[in-house]
Amino acid sequence: MGSKPQSNKEASMWPKGFGVKLETITPFLGKYRPFVGRCCQTCTPKSWESLFHKNIAALGFYNVILVTEENTRYRGWLVRRLCYFLCAMDWKITPTPDTGEKILGSKWIQEILSGRAPGGAGEGPKPSSLRRDVQHILGQIQASIYPFMLRIFSWALLKFLNCIFLNVQLHQGQLAMVRQAAQVKDTPLIFLSTHKSCLDGLLLPFLLLSQGLGVLRVAWEPQSYSPALRALLRHLGGLFMPPEANFFLDNPKGILPRAVLSAAIEQLLASKQPLLIFLEDPPGAVGPRLSSHGQAWLGLVLQAFREGTIPDAALVPVGIGYDLAPDVQHAGPWASSCPLGLWWWALAVFRGLRGRRGCARIDFAQPFSLQEYSVNTWSRGRSKGQSLEQLLLQTVLGHWSVLPDCEKQQEWTPMSGPFMALEEEDQLLVSRLSRHVLSASIACSAVMATAVMAALLLHRHREGVFLSRLLENFSWLTEETLLRGFDVGFSGQLQDLVMHGLCLLHGSLSLWLLPQGDVLVLPRAGPTLAQLAFHSAALLPVFLCEAVGACAVRALLAGRVPPEGPWELQGVELLSQRELHRQTLLLLHLLPQDLLLLQPCQSSYFYCQEVLDRLIQCGLLVAEEAPGTRLTCDTGNWRFGEKMLWRSMEDFSDSDSDYEDGTDSRCFKLSQQLRCPDFFLFLCRLLSPLLTAFARAAAFLHQGKLPDTEAGYTQQLHQFLLKKAQEDGSFESTDLSQAHSAVMTFKDLGVLKEQPDSTGSTLHLSPIFTTQENQEKLENFIRQFICG
């Protein structure tokens, strides 16, 4: 496949036929599609039973931007040409009440007026000056919504969406659940969404408005938009946090802005206006995946609930998927490095007119009760676990062979004023709720055709593949995705789907038309591989369990057989369950929580067992009886110890049980089925880009110039990753977010120490890792999980 085709002519047009039989992918029929988005049965069992019935899953999909004369009250030749405008004029828009006086009379403002506000001192300000300040701050947060202006903008947005998308799909069953939740009295809808594009904040309000669910208020990130665009978005229902609200609690300038913001959110929720909060930072932002801005807004919602302003809130996780987001490149640095202006519209339209029109998919998960979640969360306790340094450092250095029986600390406190103003218990609740909802949003997000295609070309056919073979593998990977409970955002003829995906990724590929009539597809060597890595990352949550397990198996085999050895030789080795659990747990501790997004109700030990179960279910591992042990299928003498009878389900682990010796002595072997070697390598390669960046970060320790700031050292590491990629072509491991993730992980592990100084804080190399021996131990520890 690596040889150059005889024609030496790159295919510029798709062949109409290439000698293969066409077929329609069977699982795309309605009865085979998984219904995604059921809420957590552990944390919200009552919500899980409500707002859902079996007929919902049978409802079909709806193209939101397909508007015809049938969507209007009129018919005729002129109506067919004005149907977008007439439809927008018919949408129901409820005028928003003026809340200025109510905000002035709220508890938060009255406390400031009387001088009793937290952080305040002495007598409060004069009422006249306070009114002016409140009106000024309120103008920074929101503005009056003009229905006619909103209709005109919706009409223009509808035309714009038809220019850049082939369709925008929405499941009608998911919409039915949202409609039912909207009918609950005094319970506002809070949409908590992933953030794939700056278009998300326009697309979701348009979708809900067109479906008769009212005007959605969107909590925007102010730093990402120009002043002119912020003014426009406020009149369209946007909300912006005042800059002074993020001041530290000891700064008196932040007291009034936080009070006005809290009062404005309380009035908005009391009037039952739906609110959209993004739990991820804008595309291209470097930092933790969980947005500090989104957690601050969610904290304000929780605060309104605690104050009794609303009896409850219906939380709706939202997943968004694009074939190609109109404003995001694979690196996306401009998306967050400068404020987004009106020129973005022209850029997106230009891309659409160039023919790079993809599809979009919006998924609403099952709404659940904030009140029920908060009660059930605190009933399970509030163990915070241990730091990564306490759990993993001694193992990396070779001093421990047994891991501590403790969870990894998952909480991360965002440094924002509204969040820090919450009580400690509420901060922990918001942190756990954010991770829980973001995990649910990603789980319900559809996998698009570009993600499937990019994963195949990057992780399975790096050296090139014939189109006829690519058709087979596309169908296989799609079925594997559906079997794992994830949905896909496409359907139709197999040939059309593959052509669609390749056309959208044409900048990263070379297509060669062969004399036999087939087409050879080659990923372009060079920086364009980073674009394939960006798209293929959307497939990682689908196979994350199996990928973690495959890398753990790779680590076990690394010291026994050569990695280049034949599959039959690796399949001879016995792998005990104890060893598999240990290696899986080591990798879980090493990987950043932003990647795993383990739900707070799920322990890492249960996740290890789930990893093992998945490897068995997909056929990679088969049970093998160790010599001298009782058969696995002989369950006659299994028994529960007395201490097992009273333990709650969350406290179960194999290390606690009386039959520990029986379960840990179980052994497994790698399956010898023909498909297993390729599938095993595919799973390992899904995590290889990040793990390779981590290993190179360990190798960079003796070259890095320290002390330096966190941002400065991240840039140093990023340049080193780019240099290594130029040498071996591994451009999938050069993303700036990977460099930042490696730096943050090394800080948590104790490799890098942060010390305060006059300018802020700087990173220093830990004395333990100043020796080359310990640096090599760290690198080897990481490389054991990487499969070439």
pLDDT tens digits, residue range 544-596? 999 999 999 999 988 777 666 666 666 667 888 999 999 999 999 999 988 88
Segment 481-491 mean pLDDT? 91
**Among 48-57, 113-122, 195-204, 583-592, which is the least confidently predicted range?**
113-122
Task: Using DSSP bridges, classify how beta strands 189-193 and 275-278 pair: parallel, antiparallel or unpaired.
Answer: parallel
Give the pLDDT score at 5.
40
**Among 27-31, 207-211, 468-472, 503-507, which is the least confidently predicted range?**
27-31
The matching CATH number, chosen from 3.30.70, 3.30.450, 3.40.140, 3.40.1130, for 45-112+126-329+337-376 is: 3.40.1130
Mean pLDDT of the chain: 82
Residue 239 backbone class (left: φ over 0; alpha: ψ -120 to 50; beta: rest): beta
Does the pLDDT at position 194 exceed 80? yes
* CA atoms of 90 and 409, how far apart (whole Å): 51
Give the pLDDT score at 573.
79
pLDDT tens digits for range 423-457: 888 888 998 999 999 999 999 999 999 999 999 99
- Nearest partner of 93 among 153, 161, 157, 156, judged by Cα: 153
Higher pLDDT, 139 or 649: 139
pLDDT band at 657 (very low <50, low <70, confident <90, very high): very low
pLDDT band at 627 (very low <50, low <70, confident <90, very high): low
- Nearest partner of 322 among 440, 165, 507, 439, judged by Cα: 165
**Among 103-117, 126-140, 364-378, 500-514, which is the least confidently predicted range?**
103-117
Task: Using DSSP bridges, classify how beta strands 217-220 and 61-63 pair: parallel, antiparallel or unpaired.
Answer: unpaired
Segment 396-419 mean pLDDT? 73
Give the pLDDT score at 659.
40
pLDDT band at 535 (very low <50, low <70, confident <90, very high): very high
Segment 352-375 mean pLDDT? 86
Segment 4-25 mean pLDDT? 40
Domain 447-538 listed as CATH 2.60.40: no
Residue for token digits 């302003």?
A: 309
Higher pLDDT, 399 or 362: 362
Give yes or no on whether 45-112+126-329+337-376 and 447-538 have one common fold: no
pTM for the model stands at 0.88
Does the pLDDT at position 100 exceed 90? no
* CA atoms of 157 and 45, how far apart (whole Å): 39
pLDDT band at 416 (very low <50, low <70, confident <90, very high): low
pLDDT tens digits for range 70-82: 878 888 888 888 8
Higher pLDDT, 336 or 358: 358
* CA atoms of 275 and 746, how far apart (whole Å): 37
pLDDT tens digits for range 84-94: 888 888 888 88
pLDDT band at 14 (very low <50, low <70, confident <90, very high): very low
- Non-local CB neighbours of 45 within 8 Å, separated by 6+ positions: none
Report the SS3 class of residue 781.
Answer: helix
Does the pLDDT at position 190 exceed 90? yes
Domain ranges of the chain: 45-112+126-329+337-376, 447-538, 689-784
Segment 472-496 mean pLDDT? 91
Beta bridge partners of 24: 493
Higher pLDDT, 119 or 460: 460
The secondary structure element, H or E, covering residue 752 is: strand 752-757
**Among 153-162, 187-196, 284-293, 459-468, which is the least confidently predicted range?**
284-293
Does the pLDDT at position 337 exceed 60? no
* CA atoms of 580 and 176, how far apart (whole Å): 43
pLDDT tens digits for range 493-522: 899 999 999 999 988 999 998 888 889 999
Give the pLDDT score at 652.
42
pLDDT band at 102 (very low <50, low <70, confident <90, very high): confident
Higher pLDDT, 400 or 9: 400
At residue 586, φ and ψ (nearest 5 deg) are -60, -45
At residue 555, φ and ψ (nearest 5 deg) are -65, -35
CATH class for the domain made up of 689-784: mainly alpha
* One-letter amino acid of 195: H
Are 508 and 329 a contacting pair, CB within 8 Å? no
- Identify the burial level of 479 via C-beta atoms within 10 angstroms of its C-beta, where 0-12 means exposed, 13-18 middle and 19 or more buried: middle
For residue 187, what are its two tokens? 């319970």
Give the pLDDT score at 327.
67
Higher pLDDT, 311 or 661: 311
pLDDT tens digits for range 247-265: 777 777 888 888 899 999 9
pLDDT band at 24 (very low <50, low <70, confident <90, very high): very low
- 3-state secondary structure string across 491-507: CCEHHHHHHHHHHHCHH
Does the pLDDT at position 330 exceed 80? no
Give the pLDDT score at 29.
38
Percent of the chain exceeding pLDDT 90 equals: 48
Residue 46 DSSP symbol: H
